[in-house]
Chains A and B, each alone.
Chain A
Amino acid sequence: MKRISAFICSLLVVSLFAFSVQAAGKSAKKAKVQQSDTIPLYNGFSVGLDLLSPFNSLFGNGYIGSELSVDYDLKHRYFPVVELGGGHYEGEKDGLSFRMNGGFGRIGVNRNIFANNQAKFFGYLGARYGFASEQYDYLGVKTTDGYWNTTNTSNLLNQSAQTHWTELLAGVRVQIYKKVSLGWIIRYHFRLSQTSSKAGKPYYVPGYGKNESTGVLMNYSLYYTF
């Protein structure tokens, strides 16, 4: 089942990449391509605010957070990015509760794959390195031994974890009014390493999602370009 899920995830991401490349090819043929050496190196920067993070709970996710990004437009092609955020998660399963507070950062670059240099719409591929630090609690930790019929109940408080990961992503951004634009990003991430308390690994990692070796995360952001 896990392999099937992973396969579906991979397929979706690969599809996005494939369509991006397809669109790029068409665009390149039809558009008047501006010579790259006539484009200034630096063309401003954009600040983005993720609109999904504060409203995740509406979609059944216990995470509420905020996320900001800053990207720099280099020749309308390369966009070095820094993303910072933080949040709070609360979840419960069979009487066991998890809650965490934490922050994260990502650094990486986007590559515009369209030949359209007007920046009214662009699709891109990108890569990130991410890091998160969090404090978490497990509440209602209950264990029972079947032979002795003994039960232990406790709360495991003030645990901490640090997580490192890398991401491949695809995104689109559309200008909606003058310097304001909206965009989707879909991220496929791979956990590189994690240090955590001996009481157990965190269930949720800010900026990463459920604490599994791979996963998918989305952003829907509002951008302002300076």
Chain B
Amino acid sequence: MELFLKKIGYKSATIWLLLLITLPFVSCTEEGCQESRIVKVNTRFFDKEANEPTAVTLTLKGVDNDSLLLKAAQRVSVFEVFLKQDTTFTAYVLSFPADDVDNDTLFIRHTNKQKVISMECGCATFSTIDTVYCTKHTVDSLVLIHKAIGTSDEENIRIYL
């Protein structure tokens, strides 16, 4: 053994030994969440005639929910709604207070699937829209652009006014 240590050099052997003893206690992993868990339906208003984005004053609230998501918010061209996680049907009332027009109701049928983002970030319920329809008092029509509902800002529903 001594001959061997002389051969490779005591200094090198010591460094090797120290490194190898120390390394198991060195953590090279990172804790913490870098991803969003907010799953939302991104909806955009479009002008039917001009076929371009438009903005309105909007009050937004869920059916059977007393909380307002938006209260007379001005110049809204894009808004986000959240789907119920324990059922497959969600509806929202859209009011246009500035224009003195009738309210419309947006109905969304969807399926839900839970997913683990990571141990650090936790879980989220992701949804897929099956059908979407809307009353047509003020709304002209709508188009389902992207069925998969996730954490991105990708447009899901386009509402033509």
Contacts and interface: CB of A to CB of B under 8 A. Distances in A.
A1 B115 CA distance: 26
Q: How large is the interface on B (under 10, 10 to 19, 20 to 34, 35 or more residues)?
A: 35 or more
Given A141-B114, A143-B123, A30 B7 contact: yes
B101 interface: no
Interface string B7-29: 11100110110011001101111
Contact of B114 (A22, A91, A120, A152): A152
Identify whether the interface residues of A are mostly helix, strand, loop, or mixed. Answer: mixed
B132 to A, nearest CB: 17
Given A93-B120, A141-B116, A200-B117, A5 B29 contact: yes
A148 B87 CA distance: 11
A1 B120 CA distance: 15
B67 interface: yes
Contacts of A210: 29
Interface string A120-153: 1101000000000000001001111111101110
A184 B114 contact: no
Nearest to A26: B9
A198 interface: yes
Given A27-B7, A93-B119, A142-B123, A218 B23 contact: yes
B30 interface: yes
Given A16-B19, A186-B20, A138 B116 contact: yes
B28 A172 contact: no
B69 interface: yes
Contacts of A156: 114, 116
Given A96-B122, A143-B123, A121 B86 contact: no
5 pairs of A and B residues whose beta carbons are closest in the complex: A200-B116, A23-B12, A9-B28, A150-B86, A150-B85
Interface of B: 4, 6-9, 12-13, 15-16, 19-20, 23-24, 26-30, 32, 62, 65, 67, 69, 82-87, 90, 112-120, 122-125
